[in-house]
């Protein structure tokens, strides 16, 4: 019996190693706040973008049609899960959950390790889907990767988020992991050029300096891939972002909500560009009467049920019953302090080009296009699944049929038929 058990174990290990060697790997990187036209702006100003140019010359560049709201945490979790925000439940950088009477705050490390925020309606991130198929994932600081979602972590993670980690350090750690035969997926997040965009504005020299820093990191990554036999010619590289950035800072483009609701009993899901208002003692009518004098100057006001369908951001109990979205370049004041030294913002309507992020991709399985493409943010999940031959996805909103044209050798019809059934919920894993 022991001999048979040992033989079965050896066979399983052989199949795992053989499978990982037969399928090329994916490295999926997000640079926060990298607007779709930043590379064009950088090139016009003489900034070195040679690494990004190398990728797009061997593959393609795209404008990403991102989800609503155009905030960091909802957007990154949409990329990871393939779901629109209303269906994955991470509805803001800060939001209240009426069922638990708790508030999620993206800067709270305790929240980010609590799985309850990330398990809405069976949400499953790419790294978990990959490991469910028998592979190993390495994830560095992606939204959701710190929590034990459905009691599982990625095989390798960076632990609690730390802004002190440089881009080069993150890439080195990722390469250490992905170089192993047992790993086929690496996901990495870096917080620039978003931070520079907020502080100095999207048209600033400081943003261009961060673009050059990102380029240097990508150049290092490309060089290391070429120098590593287990990676050279075997990496499908996808680089993108969560959202763009709009210029702010004009003093006459502030919606002073604070002074009309400060005496009311409410809970606020606030960001400078979006504002959810929950009655918490005060009535809905009292709140609406209080904000009526603002006359929707610089913003749109919605009751939850009236939020536009195109946002895919309304059918979720975590979305506040009163929801305000600022017009481009406007910001909500929700406290006594003014916005000082804040010259860039996102969170606005995803139809504004300023909100759209970029994407570049290349690799042995990725098609080449000379013209700029268009790509849906919720389609990263099915694209990565197709590249890694993961045929039993979670239920998603992304469409595998939209990504097939980006692949040199699309999956078989048998694969696609099964994938679609899992993706639409007909089959369940």
Residue with tokens 């973008």: 49
- What tokens appear for 93 in the block? 């950088």
Considering only CA atoms, which of 243, 242, 166, 247 is closest in space to residue 200? 247
Pairing state of beta strands 136-140 and 156-157?
A: parallel
Residue 54's SS3 state is helix
**Cα–Cα distance between 256 and 337 in angstroms, integer?**
11
CA–CA–CA angle 193, 195, 201 (5° rounding): 80
Measured in residues, the chain has a length of 429
DSSP code string of 290-353: HHGGGTTTTEEEEEGGGS-GGGT-SS-TTS-SEEEEEPTT-EEE-SSS---S--EE--S-TTSG
Largest CA distance in the chain: 80
**Cα–Cα distance between 77 and 88 in angstroms, integer?**
8
- Identified catalytic residue from 70, 72, 274, 334: 72
**Cα–Cα distance between 87 and 388 in angstroms, integer?**
24
72 catalytic residue (yes or no): yes
Residues designated catalytic:
72
């Amino acid at each position: 019996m022991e001999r048979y058990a040992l033989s079965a174990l050896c066979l399983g290990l052989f199949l795992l190693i053989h499978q990982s060697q037969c399928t090329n790997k994916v490295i999926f990187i997000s640079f926060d706040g990298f607007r779709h036209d930043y590379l064009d702006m950088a090139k016009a100003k003489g900034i070195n973008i040679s690494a990004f140019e190398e990728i797009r010359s061997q593959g393609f560049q795209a404008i990403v049609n991102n989800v609503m709201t155009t905030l960091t945490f909802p957007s990154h979790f949409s990329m990871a899960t393939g779901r629109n925000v209303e269906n994955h439940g991470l509805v803001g950088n800060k939001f209240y959950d009426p069922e638990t009477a708790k508030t999620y705050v993206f800067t709270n490390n305790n929240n980010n390790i609590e799985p309850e925020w990330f398990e809405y309606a069976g949400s499953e991130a790419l790294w978990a889907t990959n490991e469910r198929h028998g592979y190993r994932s390495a994830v560095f600081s992606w939204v959701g990767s710190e929590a034990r979602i459905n009691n599982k972590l990625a095989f390798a993670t960076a632990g609690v988020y730390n802004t002190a980690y440089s881009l080069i350090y993150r890439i080195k750690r990722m390469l250490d992991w992905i170089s192993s035969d047992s790993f086929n997926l690496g996901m990495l997040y870096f917080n620039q050029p978003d931070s520079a965009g907020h502080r100095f504005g999207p048209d600033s020299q400081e943003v261009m300096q961060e673009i050059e820093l990102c380029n240097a990191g990508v150049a290092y990554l490309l060089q290391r891939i070429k120098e590593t036999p287990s990676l050279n010619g075997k990496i499908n590289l996808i680089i993108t972002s969560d959202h763009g950035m709009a210029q702010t800072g004009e003093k006459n483009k502030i919606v002073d909500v604070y002074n009309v609701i400060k005496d009311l009993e409410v809970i606020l899901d606030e960001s400078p560009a979006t504002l959810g208002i929950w009655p918490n003692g005060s009535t809905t009518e009292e709140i609406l009467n209080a904000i009526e004098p603002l006359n929707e100057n610089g913003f749109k006001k919605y009751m939850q049920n009236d939020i536009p369908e195109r946002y895919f951001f309304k059918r979720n109990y975590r979305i506040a019953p009163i929801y305000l979205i600022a017009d481009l370049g406007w910001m909500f004041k929700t406290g006594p302090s003014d916005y000082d030294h804040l010259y860039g913002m996102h969170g606005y309507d995803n139809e504004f080009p300023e909100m759209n992020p970029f994407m570049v991709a290349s690799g042995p399985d990725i098609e080449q296009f000379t013209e700029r493409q268009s790509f849906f943010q919720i389609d990263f999940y099915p694209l990565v699944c197709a590249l890694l031959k993961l045929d039993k996805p979670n239920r998603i909103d992304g469409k595998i049929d939209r990504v097939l044209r980006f692949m040199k050798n699309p999956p078989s019809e048998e694969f696609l038929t099964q994938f679609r059934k899992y993706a639409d919920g007909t089959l369940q894993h």
